[in-house]
């Protein structure tokens, strides 16, 4: 090598060394905590739906039925005085309306322990003590990972994937689960429901049963709405009585026996019923019992469903229909404040896409997890699978005012044409079980376990068609369903099994909101839908679906005998006489057969391991009030 080339090589080495040193020094410059950049929130577009595999009837395989756990009715407890203790857990408050008017004092909700991220220890920086031989690149790497750890510790947004979008954010403008879940974050009810079905104080800190028809409620003082207004008795009166106006037609089943709400003073009201209704008090936990701000509702008018104002732990920010809604922590909340700032709930109907988003961390919680995704979530070390038996029934309903479904023999014949046990096993693969009664087996007074297993009998079906004077080959019908994959698959098998009798059918699949709107028109033939209890009483397992005036009676079943049974059941306290009423009711419904039972479901959610404080709700109105992120 000549001298010129040698000098060039030396200078190149010196320049490269200088650049490396400068880079190491830059990466080691500590930033003040206030200057550390916060991670940007990135909205992920909902992935395109994947093609859904066709389910063939011959793929039905017998598997043992999963047994739902029986939930037995708790014996009635006398209304006893319950006094509040600070920092104590709210105890179960049980009170029967027939008891003498005794004051029930509620305990304030116990404060959940705050989980605070410990501040990271800042490395000491001593001037002039750094040794020349220490590798500066290693120090730069340490600073990089320390910054990443700090970013992870300040995660302050919970992202959730729900199956469907809400239909409104007005608590009396709906009666479906996705909307109930959304409303539960914005609003509070007078009383709250515990996972075991017992009740605890909500906006009412205590109450008295003055008689079988009169309930005195004492409101918490100092509770604020999201618009800064203080909760007053006038808001409670407005909210509950509004449910009995045309705006509350969807939830009339729950509110129909409320006569009026009397204002005693700004923090005391008396609920007066038209007649004795023992399940009514428990129904106040339902979404219809959410308390709205009178001033906000009147100001928004017909647009209130897009401008909600409640007293709940989160306040409304924005709603991009069909995609997501965003709520923000309400820092003036009267109870335990949320431990994260922002809640984003995305609507992702396709189950595989929900799972992918959960796996990648784009969402923190996803529900429901379907049978085809169950093992995938369960075996992922970064995820936790949560399950709870639900008091719910998936069914195929008939429009009983439309020929030929107005003839009970035709309905019975179609039921006998279906292998409901095989359909449930093939589609649900060990999740839930096949119902035998409309009242789920986990609900008190259900006789599901006493009834025979449904069996397919084509010969008997033909005999019934003949007796009704109907040729099954002349029947052409539309099976309607929403986009839930399991229901589409069930409809596919039903279509194939009906064809064995010569019945022609096609499947119409619709988006959730459009589906419910079309069912309200009552022009359908048959449809697949689910019904779950958010109030733990058998009355609501039946009334919302089959009572003549129910806003969600999509079968159009109008039967005075059943209406009479329902009224009698409400008028009786828990006991043998009431149990017999509901037993007779279930047998009568099975004779009239306005619907074919397909599935008792489970609530199944997938949760990332860093998410703590979330528990899947056995009534499927999932709460994020106690959720936080593990460091």
In this structure, are strands 157-162 and 365-366 parallel, antiparallel, or unpaired? parallel
Tens-place pLDDT, residues 360-402: 999 999 999 999 999 999 999 999 999 999 999 999 999 999 9
**pLDDT at residue 155, as a whole number:** 86
Query: In this predicted model, which residue has the larger pLDDT, 83 or 21?
Result: 21
Tens-place pLDDT, residues 284-318: 999 999 999 999 999 999 999 999 999 999 999 99
DSSP classification of residue 230: B
Q: Is the per-residue pLDDT at 62 higher than 60?
A: no
User: Contact, 227 vs 296, CB < 8 A?
Assistant: yes
**pLDDT at residue 252, as a whole number:** 87
> How many other C-beta atoms are found inside a 10 Å radius of the C-beta of residue 473?
11
When mean pLDDT is compared across 20-24, 356-360, 538-542, the lowest value belongs to 20-24
User: Contact, 296 vs 225, CB < 8 A?
Assistant: yes
Q: Is the per-residue pLDDT at 537 higher than 60?
A: yes
**pLDDT at residue 14, as a whole number:** 52
Q: pLDDT band for position 196 (50/70/90)?
A: confident
Q: pLDDT band for position 195 (50/70/90)?
A: confident
- Mean pLDDT for the chain overall: 82
Domain 391-600 has CATH 2.40.50.100: no
Residues of the chain with CATH 3.10.105.10: 391-600
Q: pLDDT band for position 543 (50/70/90)?
A: very high
**pLDDT at residue 18, as a whole number:** 52
Q: What percent of the chain has pLDDT over 90?
A: 71
**pLDDT at residue 221, as a whole number:** 98
User: Contact, 351 vs 161, CB < 8 A?
Assistant: no
When mean pLDDT is compared across 5-19, 188-202, 420-434, the lowest value belongs to 5-19
Angle between helix 458-468 and 408-416 (nearest 10): 160
In this structure, are strands 214-219 and 204-211 parallel, antiparallel, or unpaired? antiparallel
What is the rounded distance in angstroms from the CA atom of residue 113 to the CA atom of residue 626? 9
Highest mean pLDDT among 15-19, 197-201, 419-423: 419-423
Q: pLDDT band for position 87 (50/70/90)?
A: very low
Residues of the chain with CATH 3.90.76.10: 89-110+165-308
Task: Provide φ and ψ at 422, rounded to 5°.
Answer: -65, -40
Of the options 3.40.50.920, 3.90.76.10, 3.30.420.40, 3.40.50.300, the CATH number for the domain spanning 89-110+165-308: 3.90.76.10
What is the rounded distance in angstroms from the CA atom of residue 161 to the CA atom of residue 353? 10
Tens-place pLDDT, residues 140-162: 444 334 444 444 456 899 999 99
Nearest residue to 346 via CA among 176, 605, 161: 161
What is the rounded distance in angstroms from the CA atom of residue 534 to the CA atom of residue 197? 9
What is the rounded distance in angstroms from the CA atom of residue 249 to the CA atom of residue 550? 8
Q: pLDDT band for position 330 (50/70/90)?
A: very high
Q: Which two tokens stand for residue 467?
A: 């007796």
What is the rounded distance in angstroms from the CA atom of residue 277 to the CA atom of residue 572? 8
**pLDDT at residue 17, as a whole number:** 52
Please name the residue that has the structure tokens 């501040």.
119
What is the rounded distance in angstroms from the CA atom of residue 524 to the CA atom of residue 435? 24
Q: Which two tokens stand for residue 117?
A: 């991220």
Q: pLDDT band for position 51 (50/70/90)?
A: very low
> How many other C-beta atoms are found inside a 10 Å radius of the C-beta of residue 523?
11
Q: Is the per-residue pLDDT at 42 higher than 60?
A: no
What is the rounded distance in angstroms from the CA atom of residue 413 to the CA atom of residue 406? 13
Question: What is the CA 533 to chain-centroid distance, rounded?
Answer: 11
């Amino acid at each position: 090598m000549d001298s010129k080339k040698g000098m060039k090589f030396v200078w190149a080495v010196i320049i490269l060394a200088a650049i490396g040193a400068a880079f190491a020094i830059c990466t080691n410059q500590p930033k003040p905590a206030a200057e550390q950049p916060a991670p940007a929130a990135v909205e992920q577009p909902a992935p395109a739906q994947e093609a859904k595999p066709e389910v063939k009837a011959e793929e039905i395989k017998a598997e043992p039925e999963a047994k739902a756990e029986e939930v037995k009715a708790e014996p009635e407890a006398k209304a006893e005085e319950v006094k509040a203790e600070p920092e104590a857990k709210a105890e179960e408050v049980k009170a029967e309306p027939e008891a003498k008017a005794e004051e029930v004092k509620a305990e304030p909700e116990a404060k959940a322990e705050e989980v605070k991220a410990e501040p990271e220890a800042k490395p000491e920086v001593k001037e002039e003590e750094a040794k020349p031989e220490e590798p500066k690149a290693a120090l730069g790497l340490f600073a990089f990972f320390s910054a990443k750890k700090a970013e992870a510790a300040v995660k302050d947004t919970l992202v959730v994937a729900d199956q469907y979008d809400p239909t409104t954010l007005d608590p009396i403008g709906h009666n479906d689960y996705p909307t109930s879940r959304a409303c539960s974050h914005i609003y509070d009810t007078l009383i709250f429901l515990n996972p075991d079905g017992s009740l605890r104080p909500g906006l009412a800190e205590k109450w008295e049963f003055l008689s079988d028809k009169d309930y005195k409620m004492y409101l918490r003082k100092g509770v604020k709405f999201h618009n800064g207004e203080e909760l007053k008795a006038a808001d409670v009166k407005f909210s509950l009585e509004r449910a009995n106006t045309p705006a509350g037609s969807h939830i009339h089943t729950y509110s129909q026996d409320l006569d009026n709400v009397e204002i005693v003073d700004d923090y005391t009201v008396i609920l007066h019923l038209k007649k004795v209704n023992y399940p009514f008090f428990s129904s106040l936990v339902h979404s219809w019992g959410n308390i709205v701000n009178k001033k906000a509702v009147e100001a928004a008018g017909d647009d209130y469903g897009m401008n909600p104002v409640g007293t709940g732990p989160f306040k409304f920010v924005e709603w991009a229909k069909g995609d997501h809604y965003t709520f923000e922590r309400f820092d003036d909340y009267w109870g335990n404040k949320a431990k994260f700032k922002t809640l984003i709930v995305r609507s992702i109907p396709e189950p595989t896409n929900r799972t992918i988003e959960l796996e990648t961390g784009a969402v923190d919680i996803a529900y429901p997890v379907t049978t085809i995704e169950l093992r995938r979530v369960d075996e992922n070390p970064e995820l936790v699978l949560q399950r709870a038996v639900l008091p719910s029934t998936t069914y195929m309903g008939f429009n009983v005012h439309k020929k030929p479904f107005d003839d009970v023999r035709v309905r019975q014949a179609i039921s006998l044409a279906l292998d409901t046990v095989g359909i449930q096993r093939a589609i649900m693969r060990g999740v839930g079980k096949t119902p035998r009664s409309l009242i789920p087996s986990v609900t008190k007074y259900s006789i599901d376990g006493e009834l025979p297993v449904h069996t397919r009998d084509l010969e008997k079906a033909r005999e019934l068609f003949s007796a009704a004077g109907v040729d099954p080959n002349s029947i052409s019908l539309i099976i309607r369903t929403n986009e839930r994959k399991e229901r589409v698959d069930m409809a596919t098998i039903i279509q194939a099994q009906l064809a064995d009798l010569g019945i022609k059918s096609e499947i119409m699949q619709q988006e959730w909101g459009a589906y419910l709107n079309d069912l309200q028109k009552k022009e359908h033939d048959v449809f697949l839908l689910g019904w779950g209890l958010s109030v733990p009483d058998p009355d609501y397992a039946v009334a919302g679906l089959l009572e003549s005036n129910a806003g969600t009676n999509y079968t159009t079943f109008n039967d005075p005998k059943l209406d009479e049974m329902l009224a009698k059941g409400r008028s009786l306290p828990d006991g043998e006489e009431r149990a017999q009423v509901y037993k007779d009711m279930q047998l009568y419904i099975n004779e009239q057969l306005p619907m074919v039972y397909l599935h008792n479901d489970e609530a199944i959610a997938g949760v990332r391991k860093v998410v703590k404080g979330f528990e899947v709700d056995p009534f499927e109105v999932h709460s994020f009030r106690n959720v936080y992120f593990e460091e």
